[in-house]
Structure 1
Amino acid sequence: MIRHNGLHRERVRRPTLEAVAARAGVSRSTVSRVINGEDTVSDEFRAIVLNAVNELGYVPNSAARSLVTRRTDSIALVVSDSPSEAHADDPLFSAIVRSATRYLEEAGKRVTLMLADSAEGRLRVERYAASGHLDGVVLNSTLSSDPLPAALARTGIPVVSLGRPAVSVPSSYADIDNAGGAASAVRHLLARGRRRIAAIAGPPDTIAAQDRLRGYREALRDTGHRSIIAVGDLTLASGADAMRQLLRDDPALDAVFVAGDLMAIGALRVLSESGRRVPDDVAIAGFDDIEAASHTVPALTTVRAPRTDQARAAVRLLLRQIDGGPASSAILPTELVIREST
């Protein structure tokens, strides 16, 4: 019986960090860095370590580690505006949430998705963050008037925003170059010989929309061409309505920069209905490079936003901050994808 119990204990003994290091042929510290999601390990060695982890069935002893580090290994992914208002038709919203969740889980973190689309929801998130149940927060907040970034900053918990928060709030964030991307699209239209370039801007209370509109204006500033602007809410229907308004305001326009691909698709539909040929009569460029952009007729020129890289950058910034590093931010470059609409 004693021998049987001993064999049973041997059979269920948990693989150790040292066993993973031996299987992978690397140091214990390298395994630790991979397990903790640090970005100081090459992709080659990270793959070797993760393969060893899977082969041995290694599971970090988070309970024991928490007693030593006073960490919970729990991260909240907070969506701080109403999906029905800002993201219902946005395929990039689910993509960035999935990506952030995946990278956090790969780093051994438990992820809690929390919605803060009301005053009650924001208070609930603030209290939970201040309660000690979390190591940090990845915050998706698009509205410049959102009080949650400032409220979370007051709790002292590490926070990284998916996108630049309001200027008045000191915060770490991972964003894309919205202004630069918009400017590159407008400069492309100018290079195509377009001279009456309108814009369909996004909601004025969102930081990204403000930055994209700024990029549009900066690209036109030194050309002597006037701004012609309509506003949408990032949906297909609002893009159609804004395009109708622009055609009424300036029937002679020959190009449109649209601050979101769904709005651009709506604008394309209206141009077709009005008998305007794209790009012969009116060239059009969007922003985001959603999957549908390559399937429109004609295919849509657009600015590619690296959302997966943005999510990865946000997670790395947060993990570094949790480990005692300074709060810092990252702005990722965009890429102009030229197709048939220009």
Structure 2
Amino acid sequence: MPTITGHPERHAPTLEAVAEAAGVSRATVSRVVNGSPSVRGEVVEVVQKAIAELGYVPNRAARSLASSRTHSIALLVPEDVSRFFGDPYFASFTGGLDRRLADTEYVLNLVVARDDPGRKAVRYVRGGNVDGAIVVSHHRGHDFLRQLEGSVPIVYGGRPDVALSSAPYFVDVDNESGGYLATRHLIESGRTRIASIAGPDDMSAALDRVAGFRRALQEAGLPDDAIVHANFTASGGAEAMRTLLARQPDLDAIFSASDLMATGALTALASRGISVPGDIAIVGYDDSPAATWGEVGLTTVRQPSELMGATAVDVLLQLLGGVADVPHENIVPTELVIRNSA
């Protein structure tokens, strides 16, 4: 059996140094590093001992070339950087991705590309730098996403509103049902002039929540015309709230399509001395940390964003593993969380 005969300098050990220390060939060390079953157990033990003593770290790039795998996954965000880092929904979703990947060999690469005018994101994903991609916060008009089709497995966070040539894989909640649930709660609490601070009108999630809002009001025989679209930010929610007050001074309730916009609406109402829920009740959407930031706890529709992130990883890992019959639509449940605002 080979014995360890010595070792070279420790600051930058190489494959050759391990081979010399273990008294075996470079090819044998390479086979051990790559998990080949063709190496005898006692030889594997000696090589692994040499690796541990020298502090050798296998070259991931070289291993990737050999296996055609990078062990990297892109989190592709076609969104403004400030919006991505300023929204607690994204923090929770990304946390779910990271925690689910912790037990795997994969690392997560963040690729922010608001509209990718130079196609840098497309070139990066198509260039063999990642094994798969998860796309979140996509808008209608992000046609560059079509160029990613067929390059790597892709899972969308939210139902994509991009014209794709094949059925996409995505993780989402039933947003129309969530909008309906929030609005029914306001109706059942006795509110009759209900408005919506909706999300961007180029995102499927925002439009689906508006559809649920309208369906609940139409069933109750109430007007459904008080809608202002905003950009899922607190400042956007505040501006939308001021617009609604100017248009419909008799409002008694608001369905906000995100908690962050609802916090902006609360600030705008407080500045005018309008009480919540006394004068106007508010229901948000997400059940993010923003729902409990202020003095008034926000009643909200909980979408389990961390679970959505973890589920997106699960779907992608199945695709990367060649699992047959992976479901294209993966819907996680929502629920209404009651607090002081409604």
Name the TM-score, length of structure 2 as normaliser. Answer: 0.77
8 Å CA contact 1:183–1:216 kept in 2: the answer is yes
Show CA shifts across 1:79-129 (max 9, x none): 122223x435312223322332342342211322212224345x1222233
> CA 1:173–1:15 in structure 2 vs 1: closer, same or farther (change >3 Å)?
closer
Q: Which residue of 1 aligns with 2:157?
A: 162
Q: Which residue of 2 aligns with 1:254?
A: 252
> CA 1:176–1:61 in structure 2 vs 1: closer, same or farther (change >3 Å)?
farther
Q: 1:189 aligns with which of 186, 189, 195?
A: 186
User: What secondary structure is seen at the aligned counterpart in 2 of 1:119?
Assistant: coil
Letter in 2 for 1:338: I
CA distance in 2 between counterparts of 1:292 and 1:190 reads: 24
- Residue 138 of structure 2 corresponds to residue 134 of structure 1: no
Q: Which residue of 2 aligns with 1:206?
A: 203
Q: 1:229 aligns with which of 221, 227, 232?
A: 227
> CA 1:128–1:4 in structure 2 vs 1: closer, same or farther (change >3 Å)?
closer
CA distance in 2 between counterparts of 1:216 and 1:173 reads: 23
> CA 1:319–1:274 in structure 2 vs 1: closer, same or farther (change >3 Å)?
same
Q: Which residue of 1 aligns with 2:309?
A: 311
Letter in 1 for 2:339: R
Q: 1:100 aligns with which of 97, 100, 120?
A: 97
Show CA shifts across 1:250-289 (max 9, x none): 2111111011112111211222232322212211111112
> CA 1:141–1:240 in structure 2 vs 1: closer, same or farther (change >3 Å)?
closer
Q: Give ranges in structure 1 of 5+ residues lacking alignment.
A: 19-58
Letter in 2 for 1:316: D
Aligned length: 298
Letter in 2 for 1:87: F
8 Å CA contact 2:78–2:136 kept in 1: the answer is yes
Radius of gyration: which is bigger? 2
Report deviation, 1:3: 4.4
Report deviation, 1:317: 0.7
Report 1:285-324 matches (<5 A): 285-324=283-322
> CA 1:236–1:9 in structure 2 vs 1: closer, same or farther (change >3 Å)?
same
User: What secondary structure is seen at the aligned counterpart in 2 of 1:106?
Assistant: coil
User: What secondary structure is seen at the aligned counterpart in 1 of 2:260?
Assistant: helix
Could you say what the CA RMSD is over the residues aligned between the two structures, in angstroms? 3.0
Q: Which residue of 2 aligns with 1:267?
A: 265
Q: Which residue of 2 aligns with 1:340?
A: 340
- Residue 118 of structure 2 corresponds to residue 117 of structure 1: no
Q: Which residue of 2 aligns with 1:35?
A: none
Name the TM-score, length of structure 1 as normaliser. Answer: 0.77
Report deviation, 1:320: 0.8
CA distance in 1 between counterparts of 2:65 and 2:234 reads: 51
User: What secondary structure is seen at the aligned counterpart in 1 of 2:228?
Assistant: strand
CA distance in 1 between counterparts of 2:252 and 2:184 reads: 14
- Residue 104 of structure 2 corresponds to residue 91 of structure 1: no
> CA 1:101–1:61 in structure 2 vs 1: closer, same or farther (change >3 Å)?
same
Report deviation, 1:198: 0.7
- Residue 147 of structure 2 corresponds to residue 151 of structure 1: yes
Show CA shifts across 1:121-178 (max 9, x none): 5x1222233233322111124211111331111x342100111111632311111222
Q: Which residue of 2 aligns with 1:329?
A: 329
- Give the helix-richer structure, 1 or 2: 1
CA distance in 1 between counterparts of 2:122 and 2:273 reads: 52
Letter in 2 for 1:111: L
Q: Give ranges in structure 2 of 5+ residues lacking alignment.
A: 8-20, 24-28, 38-56
> CA 1:15–1:75 in structure 2 vs 1: closer, same or farther (change >3 Å)?
closer
Q: Which residue of 2 aligns with 1:37?
A: none
8 Å CA contact 2:34–2:63 kept in 1: the answer is no
CA distance in 2 between counterparts of 1:319 and 1:301 reads: 35
Report deviation, 1:60: 10
8 Å CA contact 1:74–1:134 kept in 2: the answer is yes
CA distance in 2 between counterparts of 1:124 and 1:167 reads: 19
